[in-house]
A and B are shown apart, each in its own frame.
Chain A
Amino acid sequence: MRQLTAELAEVWRFRALFLQLVRRDLKVRYKNSKLGFVWSIAPPLMQVACITFAFKNATTFAAKFDSYSAYVLAAMIPWTYFQTAVLDSSQSILMMYGVIRKVYMPREIIPLATSVSNFIHFAMSWLVFFAYLVFYLHAPLLPTLAWFPVLILAQFFLVTAASLVVSCLNVFYEDVKYIVTVLFNLGLFVLPIMYLPEQVLHSPTMQSLWGGWAARIYMWNPLAVLISGYRKCMLEPPHPSVLGGNAATPFDPGSVLGILGVSFVALVLSYMFFNARKWRFVERP
């Protein structure tokens, strides 16, 4: 524990460089186009539009929502953040390789800066969501919205944890980036993005599989818990007909606190994993 605080003190000493790296990431991200931020949020919005088109026309449940696209968008924003932050950080250390071979710095500030710059972008993306919610859908702001900061904090911990592990492994193994990309492609379908987790939990197949454990394991996925939490704290529950007559489970503050704790533990463990390897990044005889 003492060693961990010493490492963090060293990060603090290098905060000026850390802030420059965050600025660099954001500048580069918004510089490549005239429209900057608007342009960089276009891909997830187009994805939501296409998913809405497909599901409203090809399935029966999507049309029963008051606003299906709000449900998809509330899941797509955190999912896009997770993906881009982890993929960006997988390259982050290699991009700075020529520097860290010559100049001392606590190496964790490199993936940390990527994680923070992506978090800033993520926070701004929610503004688009809330604008849509309030000005287009005229939806009420629910009191459970008070839990929203806890959710984004939990996700920040989780994303940073994943970024530290992936950025570190990617220095030693060249195929990490491809493996992560494949997993992310699967995530779009396995995570409750285009549907509700309750639909999986109530599905007869999942309930009979492994004596009901399959449904329980599905909700062990921290991202599934987060996505479900975002939706329940911001959006009114869908009409019971969406879930075949069952009411959606209400917002559960306990699960939010649980995910905050899990993400924090994951962050501490990932940081220790990173620290145990960071000195070997550049060492070559």
Chain B
Amino acid sequence: MTGAPKPSIRLAGLRKTFTLQHRHAGSLKAAMLSIFTPPRLERREVLRGIDLDILPGETVAIVGRNGSGKSTLLSLVARVYKPTSGEVTVNGTVAPLLELGAGFHPDLTGVENVELYGAILGLSRRQIQAQFDSIVRFAFDRPDLAEKIDTPLRNYSDGMKMRLGFSIAVHTDPAILLVDEVLAVGDEAFQHKCLDKIEEFQAQGKTILFVSHDMVMVRRVAHRVVWLQDGLVLRDGPTADVVDSYMAEPGPAASAAASPG
């Protein structure tokens, strides 16, 4: 056998087809009334056979225009979608970054929300308690913010919730971090902090898979870029090469690249 390391993420012949209902019955009433007229179904192939190996320690950016299947691919790696066919193999714990506010409860205090959110991301209570101070320190570096940790989350600004969520996610010590365009929120200082943390993750040899339209960010962070188009891998290679040809592409790809975020 070769000495090549076991991939962190292996996608083999991965396909995902969605079945769309055209006259969508949004209510039970409508569904019952239309019981004798079967809905017209349309199948949309979003991923049409993806083979991809991502090695431990790699930071891979997925680029492509809207509808190319980037987010679907990330959802399959996170196991929130089931593949239509093909296989997703993941070695190591995965931490996805959640959208702003997801998983938090406004009536609970910051402390209680840290416990809940940590559990959602797969931490035991003991692990959360051990990391607690560090989580708060990373999220709220100012003492006046840190004081709020015992008050209900409804008193927090969006930025504070975002910081707290990111802080918990990075403290789960995952082997693989999945990032889907969420770092665009937050003030500049915090974005810098996030980038520092991502670089720290890279230094620790963790695997990062992220989706972005922000080519400045991609160039800065990614080692390798996978360009998806119509559910297939169009290009896969070193960051500079793929981003250059992606930006050179006329049409939506270039315009998306020109307006980061």
Spell out A's residues near B (CB within 8 Å).
16-17, 19-21, 24, 27-28, 31-32, 96-105, 169, 173-176, 179, 279, 282-285
Residues of B in contact (CB 8 Å), total 39
- Contact flags B110-130 to A (C-beta < 8 A → 1, else 0): 001001100111101100000
Q: CB distance A173 to B31 under 8 Å?
A: yes
A179 contacts across to B, CB distance below 8 A: 28-29
Shortest Cβ distance from residue A170 to the other chain B in the assembled complex, whole angstroms: 9
Residue of B nearest to A283 (CB): B81
Chain A residue nearest to B119 (CB atoms) is A20
Check if A284 sits within 8 Å of B18, measured CB to CB.
yes
Interfacial chain B residues near A282, Cβ < 8 Å? 75, 80-81
Question: Bound state CA distance, A95 and B82, in angstroms?
Answer: 22
* A27 & B120 in contact (Cβ 8 Å cutoff): no
Residue with the greatest number of chain B CB neighbours at <10 A, chosen from A27, A102, A104, A105: A102
Beta-carbon nearest neighbor of A284 in chain B: B18
* List of 3 A-B pairs having minimum Cβ-Cβ separation, nearest first: A98-B102, A20-B119, A104-B79
B103 touches A96 (CB 8 A): yes
Partner of B119, one of A17, A174, A285: A17
| A103:B28 contact, CB within 8 angstroms | no
Complex alpha-carbon distance, A178 and B119, angstroms = 32
Complex CA gap A186/B67 in Å reads: 47
Docked-complex contact B28 and A176, CB < 8 angstroms? yes
Identify the closest chain B residue to A107 (Cβ).
Answer: B80
Proximity bits, B89-118, A CB within 8 Å = 1, else 0: 000001011110111010110001001100
A98-B28 contact, Cβ under 8 Å, with A104-B78, A283-B18: no
Contact of A285 among B20, B27, B82, B105 (CB under 8 A): B20
Inter-subunit contact A99/B28 (CB<8 Å) = no
Q: Which residues of chain B have C-beta atoms less than 8 A from A174's C-beta? A: 26-27
Pick from B67, B101, B125: contact of A98, CB under 8 Å: B101
Interface centre among A27, A101, A174 (most CB of B within 10 A): A101
28 A–B contacts, CB within 8 A, in A order: A16-B125, A17-B120, A24-B116, A27-B107, A27-B112, A28-B108, A31-B107, A31-B108, A32-B107, A98-B102, A99-B102, A101-B102, A102-B80, A102-B97, A103-B80, A104-B78, A104-B79, A104-B94, A173-B25, A173-B27, A173-B28, A174-B27, A175-B28, A176-B28, A279-B81, A279-B82, A282-B75, A285-B18
* Bound Cα distance A285, B15 (Å): 13
B18 proximity list for chain A (CB < 8 A): 283-285
Instruction: Point out the residues of chain A lying under 8 angstroms from B27, CB to CB.
Output: 173-175
Q: Hey, which chain B residues are within 8 Å of A24, CB to CB?
A: 105, 108, 112, 116
Judge whether B72 is part of the interface by a CB distance below 8 angstroms: yes
Interface presence of B61 (CB below 8 A): no
Specify which chain B residues have a CB less than 8 angstroms from the CB of A175 in the assembled complex: 27-29
A279–B98 Cα gap in the complex (Å)?
19
- Docked Cα-Cα span, A19 to B120, in Å, equals 11
B83 CB to nearest chain A CB (Å): 11
Measured between beta carbons, the chain B residues less than 8 angstroms from A101 are 75, 80, 99, 102
Assess the B99–A102 pair: CB atoms within 8 A. yes
